[in-house]
């Protein structure tokens, strides 16, 4: 079967149905005629004509349009030619069977492939049309498309969230399974972000719109998945290429067989019948559909589980990954860091915190968030800082009313020429993340920050190892003692930990690891976008929201769950296995049929059934991947 699945919309799958019925009707009458009693000749001829038109015109049209527009020969053409050849030698009934089965299996296949593609469509249906906008003290129902960032909307319990936004009032549980695949509801409070198409279970929430409809997380997911389905995986491109070459070869082979048979003294009719049988037996329908059937199913299953692949190529590469490299902060740890100690060398702690929080006001680094929250918790107002520049994996600098100031790690401190006073030595020897702050070469104080492991991190890494990953690496810009402590908690060996890295060092390490096979880099997009982009497979974590990561990565985990990564890796490997099974089976079946056609007088109808049956089996085998292997039991 050779309908070009990748270019057609889902709904077209149903278009073949009436034609199929017609074909069968024609065929039924013809069969009656052949088996029970002679029917009037006109009726039989009429029925066969109907069967040929109904079953033959659609593939002929597709064949001609491919020939015309893309200058390619497709398999539909082989089928039509075979049926016509059969008819011309008095085997019209066999030709009709061929066309009927071809259109039946075409319809079934379309449906199956539609199903494999539908994950995102379901998501689109979950997007509410209207929202309750809060304006001038009153609530009004408006079209979601009209909402702009800054608008306030009210979410009632049980309703789907109409926009991406931030909670400005209220708390409640949200079911985010549509986006993250996570079935456990999440408690969200003031400041938390909410996403379109998730469900507000119990709270009455006021939400400030942060993104318009076109930029929402769901819109991005839809875009990603649709693009992914349109992009062809390398093995898919191969089967297209192969299908094209092969179709021509089959046509030529059939003509050759015909010539040889005639040369051997067969009658023209017999030779033509045999050539038509070979044409069907050798058609590569099953080979061509083997790969897309598996890839589309896998892309769909993973999208439902909150894992988005940017195309089948990423899926295929993930199956080959030998080394998984992880960023630490925000990836293996929650990124919800907390300040655990403050030491001000001059003035009081609050004044020091006001300065540091002022510097970090705009930074998206998890450490910056910790400092801002600490200031807020103590009621400290951050001072105004201008000309802020961030030094990735080192720290941040800016200018306040008294002049240039900075905050960052030991490397930053040394670069500024600030020495470590004795009272800070103990803090600097510990295994907590340490941030210094200073004015030029004068150190003003230091803060320690602690960040918890993600609850799923240890299991997730173990699952990856169990799934056959050769090497795990943790790469961090943080200090060695912190890296060692976190690594130990994760069950990593010293050789699996790299610390004190700049963003460029991560890229170098990814390159080095790539010498031993494909590398995946898993990060959150903060200070590691370069490594994400450089790795064979870049995996972005907890993406429901962060654009940087979504841009740089090949795979996006919508939830913060590292267990999904292992599941996605397993799915990629299963997909690869199923593709191999499919190709082996399809090529094997073809060889058997061709051998039968060449040496064992295989009748045309048997060739047809073998051919179409094999194609359907391959599609169904691919569809097994749809059985949602990514979502873990709640
Ligand atoms: P990781 O590789 O673990 O994700 P990063 O490379 O993002 O860590 O950061 C490495 C180190 O650089 C941090 O541990 C911190 O000491 C320092 N740093 C980075 N950004 C900032 C910032 N905005 N403020 C203070 N320190 C920072
Ligand atoms: Mg990081």
pLDDT digits (tens, 9 = 90+) for 48-92: 888 888 878 888 888 888 788 877 777 778 788 888 887 877 777
Ligand 1 site, residue 333, Cβ cutoff 6 A: no
Residue 113: CB atoms within 10 A of its CB come to: 24
pLDDT digits (tens, 9 = 90+) for 424-467: 887 777 788 899 999 999 999 999 998 888 888 999 999 999 98
Which residue has its alpha carbon closest to ligand 1 atom 16?
A: 409
Q: In sequence order, which residues have a C-beta less than 8 Å from that of residue 487 and are 6 or more positions away?
A: 474, 493, 494, 496, 497
Q: How many CA atoms lie within 13 A of 582 on its CB side?
A: 32
User: Distance between CA atoms of 396 and 566, rounded to whole angstroms?
Assistant: 35
Q: Which residue has the tokens 């449906």?
A: 111
User: Distance between CA atoms of 195 and 623, rounded to whole angstroms?
Assistant: 30
- pLDDT at residue 634, rounded to an integer: 37
Which ligand 1 atom is nearest residue 503's CA? 6
User: Distance between CA atoms of 456 and 454, rounded to whole angstroms?
Assistant: 5
User: Is 440 in a helix, a strand, or coil?
Assistant: coil
Which residue has its alpha carbon closest to ligand 1 atom 15?
A: 409
- Domain assignments of the chain as residue spans, ordered by start: 10-118+229-295+574-627, 148-211, 307-334+453-558, 338-450
Sites in the chain below the pLDDT cut of 70: 1-40, 119-120, 232-239, 543-548, 628-629, 631-634
Ligand 1 site, residue 398, Cβ cutoff 6 A: no
- pLDDT at residue 519, rounded to an integer: 95
Cβ–Cβ < 8 Å for 334, 151: no
User: Is 115 in a helix, a strand, or coil?
Assistant: helix
User: Distance between CA atoms of 171 and 189, rounded to whole angstroms?
Assistant: 4
Ligand 1 site, residue 409, Cβ cutoff 6 A: yes
Cβ–Cβ < 8 Å for 66, 73: yes
pTM to 2 decimals? 0.79
- pLDDT at residue 544, rounded to an integer: 60
Phi/psi for 36 (5° steps) reads: -90, -70
User: Distance between CA atoms of 129 and 137, rounded to whole angstroms?
Assistant: 22
Residue 115 burial (10 A CB sphere; 0-12, 13-18, 19+): middle
Residue 137 burial (10 A CB sphere; 0-12, 13-18, 19+): exposed
**Got the DSSP string for 274-333?**
HHHHHHHHT--HHHHHHHHHHHHHHHHHHHHTTEEESSHHHHHHHHH--EEEEEIIIIIB
Q: Which residue has the tokens 């020939």?
A: 67
Cβ–Cβ < 8 Å for 182, 244: no
- pLDDT at residue 604, rounded to an integer: 80
- What is the token pair recorded at 141? 């129902």
Q: To 5 degrees, how large is the angle CA 520–CA 510–CA 523?
A: 50
Which ligand 1 atom is nearest residue 363's CA? 23
Distances (CA, A) of 446 to 342, 437, 544: 6, 6, 33
Listed residue (400, 339, 395) closest to 363, CA to CA: 395
Determine the distance from the C-alpha atom of residue 46 to the mean position of all C-alpha atoms in its chain, rounded to a whole number. 50
User: Distance between CA atoms of 60 and 225, rounded to whole angstroms?
Assistant: 32
Ligand 1 site, residue 477, Cβ cutoff 6 A: yes
Ligand 1 centroid, distance to 314 Cα (angstroms): 29
User: Distance between CA atoms of 586 and 608, rounded to whole angstroms?
Assistant: 14
Residue 342: CB atoms within 10 A of its CB come to: 18
Ligand 1 pocket: which of 367, 372, 374, 445 to mutate (most atoms within 8 A of CB): 367
- What is the token pair recorded at 516? 């031993």
The top-level CATH class assigned to 338-450 is alpha beta
User: Distance between CA atoms of 23 and 25, rounded to whole angstroms?
Assistant: 5
Ligand 1 site, residue 583, Cβ cutoff 6 A: no
Ligand 1 site, residue 407, Cβ cutoff 6 A: yes
CATH number attached to the domain at 307-334+453-558: 3.40.50.1000
Ligand 1 site, residue 327, Cβ cutoff 6 A: yes
User: Is 97 in a helix, a strand, or coil?
Assistant: helix
- pLDDT at residue 32, rounded to an integer: 53
Q: In sequence order, which residues have a C-beta less than 8 Å from that of residue 598 and are 6 or more positions away?
A: 257, 278
Ligand 2 centroid, distance to 365 Cα (angstroms): 8
Q: What is the SS3 string spanning 366-393?
A: HHHHHHHHHHHHCCCCCCCCEEEEEECC
Element (H, E) at 266: none
Which residue has its alpha carbon closest to ligand 1 atom 17?
A: 394
What fold, for 148-211? 2.70.150
Distances (CA, A) of 612 to 50, 147, 533: 21, 51, 43
Cβ–Cβ < 8 Å for 128, 218: no
- Name the DSSP class of 455: T
Ligand 2 centroid, distance to 51 Cα (angstroms): 64
Ligand 2 centroid, distance to 449 Cα (angstroms): 14
- Residues serving a catalytic function are 327
- What is the token pair recorded at 408? 């960052």
- Name the DSSP class of 36: T
């Amino acid at each position: 079967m050779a309908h070009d699945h990748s270019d057609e919309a889902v709904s077209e799958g149903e278009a073949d149905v009436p034609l199929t019925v017609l074909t069968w009707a024609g065929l039924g009458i013809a069969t009656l005629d052949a088996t029970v009693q002679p029917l009037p000749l006109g009726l039989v001829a009429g029925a066969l004509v109907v069967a040929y038109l109904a079953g033959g015109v659609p593939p002929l049209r597709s064949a001609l349009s491919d020939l015309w527009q893309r200058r390619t020969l497709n398999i539909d053409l082989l089928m039509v030619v075979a049926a016509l050849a059969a008819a011309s030698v008095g085997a019209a009934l066999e030709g009709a069977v061929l066309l009927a089965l071809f259109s039946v299996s075409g319809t079934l296949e379309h449906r199956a492939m539609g199903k494999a593609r539908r994950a995102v469509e379901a998501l689109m249906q979950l997007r509410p049309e209207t929202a309750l906008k809060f304006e001038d003290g009153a609530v009004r129902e408006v079209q979601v498309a009209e909402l702009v960032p800054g608008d306030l909307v009210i979410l009632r319990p049980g309703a789907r969230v109409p926009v991406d936004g931030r909670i400005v009032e209220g708390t409640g549980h949200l079911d985010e399974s549509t986006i993250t695949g996570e079935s456990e509801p999440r408690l969200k409070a003031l400041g938390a972000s909410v996403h379109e198409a998730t469900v507000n279970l119990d709270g009455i929430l006021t939400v400030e719109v942060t993104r318009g409809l076109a930029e929402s997380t769901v819109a991005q997911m839809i875009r990603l998945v649709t693009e992914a389905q349109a992009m062809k995986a390398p093995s898919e491109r191969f089967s297209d290429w192969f299908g094209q070459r092969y179709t021509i070869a089959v046509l030529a082979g059939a003509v050759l067989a015909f010539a040889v048979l005639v040369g051997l003294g067969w009658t023209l009719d017999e030779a033509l019948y045999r050539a038509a049988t070979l044409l069907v037996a050798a058609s590569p329908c099953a080979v061509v559909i083997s790969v897309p059937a598996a890839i589309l199913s896998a892309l769909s299953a993973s999208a439902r589980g909150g894992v988005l692949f940017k195309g089948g190529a990423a899926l295929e590469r993930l199956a080959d990954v030998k080394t998984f490299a992880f960023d630490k902060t925000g990836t293996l740890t929650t990124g919800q860091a907390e300040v655990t100690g403050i030491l001000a060398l001059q003035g009081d702690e609050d004044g020091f915190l006001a300065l540091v929080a002022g510097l970090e006001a705009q930074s998206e680094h998890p450490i910056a968030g910790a400092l801002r929250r600490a200031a807020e918790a103590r009621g400290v107002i951050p001072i105004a800082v201008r000309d802020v520049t961030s030094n990735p994996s080192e720290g941040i600098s800016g200018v306040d009313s008294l002049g240039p100031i900075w905050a960052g790690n030991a490397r930053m401190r040394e670069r500024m020429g600030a020495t470590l006073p004795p009272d800070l030595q103990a803090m600097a020897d510990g295994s907590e993340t340490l941030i210094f702050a200073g004015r030029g070469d004068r150190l003003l104080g230091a803060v320690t920050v602690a960040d918890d492991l993600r609850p799923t991190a240890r299991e997730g890494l173990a699952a990856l190892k169990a799934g056959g990953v050769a090497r795990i690496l943790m790469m961090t810009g943080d200090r060695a003692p912190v890296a060692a402590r976190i690594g130990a908690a994760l069950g990593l060996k010293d050789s699996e930990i790299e610390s004190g890295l700049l963003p460029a060092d991560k890229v170098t390490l990814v390159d080095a690891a790539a010498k031993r096979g494909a590398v995946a880099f898993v990060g959150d997009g903060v200070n590691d976008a370069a490594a994400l982009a450089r790795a064979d497979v870049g995996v972005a974590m907890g993406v429901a929201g962060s654009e940087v990561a979504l841009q740089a990565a090949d795979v996006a985990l919508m939830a913060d769950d590292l267990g999904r990564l292992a599941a996605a890796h397993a799915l990629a490997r299963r997909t690869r296995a199923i593709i191999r099974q499919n190709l082996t089976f399809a090529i094997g079946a073809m060889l058997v049929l061709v051998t039968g056609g060449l040496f064992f007088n295989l009748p045309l109808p048997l060739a047809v059934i073998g051919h179409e049956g094999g194609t359907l089996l391959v599609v169904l085998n691919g569809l097994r991947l749809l059985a949602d292997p990514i979502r873990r039991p709640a």
